[in-house]
Chains A and B, each alone.
Chain A
Amino acid sequence: MARMKFLCDADRCIDCNACVTACKSENEVPWGINRRRVVTINDGKPGERSVSMACMHCTDAPCATVCPVQCIYPTDDGIVLHNKDQCIGCGYCFYACPFGAPQYPQVGNFGTRGKMDKCTYCAGGGGSESPGSPEEYKKYGSNRFGEGKLPLCAEMCSTKSLLAGDGDIIAQLYEERVNKRGYGSGAWGWETAYHEDVKT
């Protein structure tokens, strides 16, 4: 079975934020929640690079391990999903996440968080809602994956910087690019997320 991953080719990313917009629009993400964001390293300096980042759907996902109610789990495709009905909004997944992916709506005093929200790889939710149902859409957003489609952020990337799909295939795509153009700043986050790097 394919292992789904994200790969951001930072040498192509132009910080246009189309991926962020696509994600927000496709999943109708509420205000203040950013499932995907673009971070610019060395802004305004030589060697500046922008990286689009969301949940990387880690191998041995630390969020899933630390969750006190065990509501986060990986699917057979390696997508990390969670069940919002069980989430207690403790915030531990954010502390454990190497990529700052989990988001929480503020629901009360003293920083009380609501149910965690994060990138679902456009694969719906990890709850009891039937896949593709309006209930699932309301809680978790789109289930493009169930329709055989890839996440919209990667699909809409204007420079094809953000790649989604089978980890082996996108790694190979990236390696070919690096070989052809002669440079590459690496697959950002892969070492931390998947315990392996691309071969360049």
Chain B
Amino acid sequence: MADPNCQIEMASAILTRSDTFALSAPLTLDCGRMLDGVEVAYETYGTLNPDKSNAVLLSHALTMDQYGASLHPITGKPGWWQRSVGPGLPIDTDRYFVICANVLGGCMGSTGPASLADDGAAYAMRFPVITIRDMVRAQIALLDMLGIERLHAVVGGSMGGMQALSLAANFPERTAAALIIAATARHSAQNIAFHEVGRQAIMADPEWRGGDYYAHGKGPEKGLSVARMAAHITYLSEAGLTDKFGRNLQDRPDGTKGAKTFGFDADFQVESYLRHQGIAFTDRFDANSYLYITRAMDYFDLAEEHGGMLANAFEQSKARFCLVSFDTDWLYPTAESRQIAHSLNAAGKRVSFIELSAPHGHDSFLLDVPALDRVIDGFLKQ
């Protein structure tokens, strides 16, 4: 723990520590391969109590990282869950020791396709195909290093929720509670289909070069940007987009307001917004990481891992569970969370499930939903 390279700082009154942990043993992966020299980049917020019983693991979504409650070093923007993690907030850093780690396969310091293999070159497509359970294995290694036998809770939204489910199912002794927000126990055909569009956009970009773009100073930014644009639509709701943009037109550079160009510039505000989202994403995300992490999500099927019965996945767990869905989320709709809740119920587990009303679609879990704050706060305080 006493690594001279680690930084401890007080950022907006949250005691933050950033560090990278190198696993001492190779990680055995679901694909059958062993991955040597795995590193996990993570942040912690707050203080671990003497009996190490107040740890909360935050598992991040597809395009997030370990900067859950601190300024992002590339974008300079607040952490992705800054509004929920901090002193006096639902995930209260005065009460809990919060750990947030970049996933295996990621690109913000944890080992991924951009990391260097033994031969000194980036893995690129030589990186093994990983799974959600592999990501969790890396997190468990981190918990072992920190001496945390049992988490107070694991909390995650979207892909973070998949990790929380996987941790509770596969490492039942390691958490006392699991809070799963806007997630699913398996990727549907539609989920896989959207991810495939994104992957094909990346791989169709000539700059992708079969994944070996790292030495060329330029990656498949066009492709990654299109992948992000397509995915971003799935995170929002139709009503949310209509509310925000409607059919409003962009002002032209010459000051003309609301006129069509009869061309293919970003006439509509929604086009301009998506283009901006796409381009901004390429500044902070590695295209190959996007391929690998979306693959891991597509492979996720918790029931399949446990003989086809979701209820069996939780047989050994003594954890309390809470599932939250949003009525406007069409990426992982309420029915998915309800099914998980029914399976946990059938397994006799202590489970709560609630569908919250929020206008923002899938991304609601990151946004201002007061009822969500109350649920998180109440569930974690037990």
A, B from the same assembly: no
The chain B residues found within 8 Å of chain A, CB to CB, are none
